[in-house]
């Protein structure tokens, strides 16, 4: 799946043909530089490694620095591998936002906003007790029972409980590209309505966020 690395710039809104105000996400997609070409004979698979956003040399490890020197590129803060690019690429080539076309659909992978330690109502959507009668006075947002005592005398794996919320990898599929600003490497995305027809995998490209707190 061909793609680029980018970062979220912010939100905006656009109007469609029917006058509806649509919430849009603005992403800076590129410029990305090809840092390595992997092939079946040497690496066991075919892929293109690209880098995004320069990084200071003093913050780079010796092994990473050697990798970038081999590709004759300045250190990058984010590296990812993609495949199935339409054109043949070489080390040092620059990929820009014009890889995407208005009207097509993309999958976006990023790190969700971290919300810290949250209870079961916020984290899992528990309803809580919701009533102040029948002897209930302090269990409004509590999780309730998490398992029996005598048997099985343990808490099952995967039990929904309070804990760290957000700050995890999230993939959102079938986002529509409504605008591409090539001179600034910006693309504007909107979410599809649930009733919209699904897209075929062949027509979907990918963007990977390099910064946290994106989705």
At 203 the pLDDT is: 43
Q: Which domains does the chain have, with CATH numbers?
A: 3-117+166-209 (3.30.160.810), 118-165 (no CATH)
Could you tell me which of 121, 125, 97, 113 has the C-alpha nearest to residue 26?
Answer: 97
10-54 per-position pLDDT tens digit: 999 988 888 888 899 999 987 888 888 888 888 888 888 888 988
Look at residue 88 in the predicted model and tell me its pLDDT.
82
Conformational region of residue 70, where left means phi above 0, alpha means psi within -120 to 50, and beta covers everything else: alpha
Q: Is the pTM of this model over 0.75?
A: no
pLDDT of residue 212: 34
Residue of 197, 190, 195 whose CA lies nearest to 15: 190
**pLDDT confidence of 213, banded at 50, 70, 90?**
very low
Scan for tokens 């043949």, then name that residue. 88
**Paired tokens of 77:** 């803060």
Least confident of 25-34, 80-89, 112-121: 80-89
Q: How far is CA 14 from CA 73, 106, 116, 180, in A?
A: 38, 18, 32, 13
Better-predicted residue by pLDDT, 212 or 109: 109
82 burial class (0-12, 13-18, 19+ CB within 10 angstroms)?
A: buried
> pLDDT value at position 193?
59
Instruction: Check residue 159 and give its pLDDT.
Output: 94
Give the pLDDT confidence score for residue 84 in this predicted structure. Answer: 76
pLDDT in tens, 155-209: 999 999 999 999 999 998 889 899 899 889 899 999 865 444 444 444 445 556 5
Q: How much of the chain, in percent, has pLDDT values that exceed 70?
A: 87
The reported pLDDT for the residue numbered 81 is: 87
Tell me which residue has tokens 């909107």. 190
């Amino acid at each position: 799946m061909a793609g680029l690395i980018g970062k979220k710039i912010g939100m905006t809104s656009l109007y469609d043909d029917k006058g509806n105000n649509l919430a849009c996400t603005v992403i800076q997609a590129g410029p990305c530089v090809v840092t390595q070409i992997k092939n079946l004979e040497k690496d066991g698979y075919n892929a293109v490694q690209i880098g995004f956003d320069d990084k200071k040399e003093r913050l780079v490890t010796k092994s990473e620095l050697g990798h970038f020197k081999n590709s004759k590129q300045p250190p990058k803060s984010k590296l990812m591998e993609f495949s199935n690019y339409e054109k043949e690429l070489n080390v040092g080539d620059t990929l820009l936002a014009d890889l995407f076309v208005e009207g097509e659909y993309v999958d976006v992978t990023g790190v969700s906003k971290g919300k810290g330690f949250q209870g079961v109502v916020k984290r899992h959507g528990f309803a809580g007790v919701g009533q102040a009668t029948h002897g209930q006075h302090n269990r409004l947002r509590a999780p309730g029972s998490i398992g029996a005592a005598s048997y099985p005398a343990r808490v099952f794996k995967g039990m929904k409980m309070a804990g760290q919320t957000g700050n995890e990898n999230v993939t959102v599929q079938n986002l529509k590209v409504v605008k591409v600003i090539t001179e600034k490497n910006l693309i504007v995305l909107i979410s599809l309505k649930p009733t919209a027809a699904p897209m075929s995998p062949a027509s979907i490209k990918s963007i990977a966020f390099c910064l946290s707190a994106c989705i």
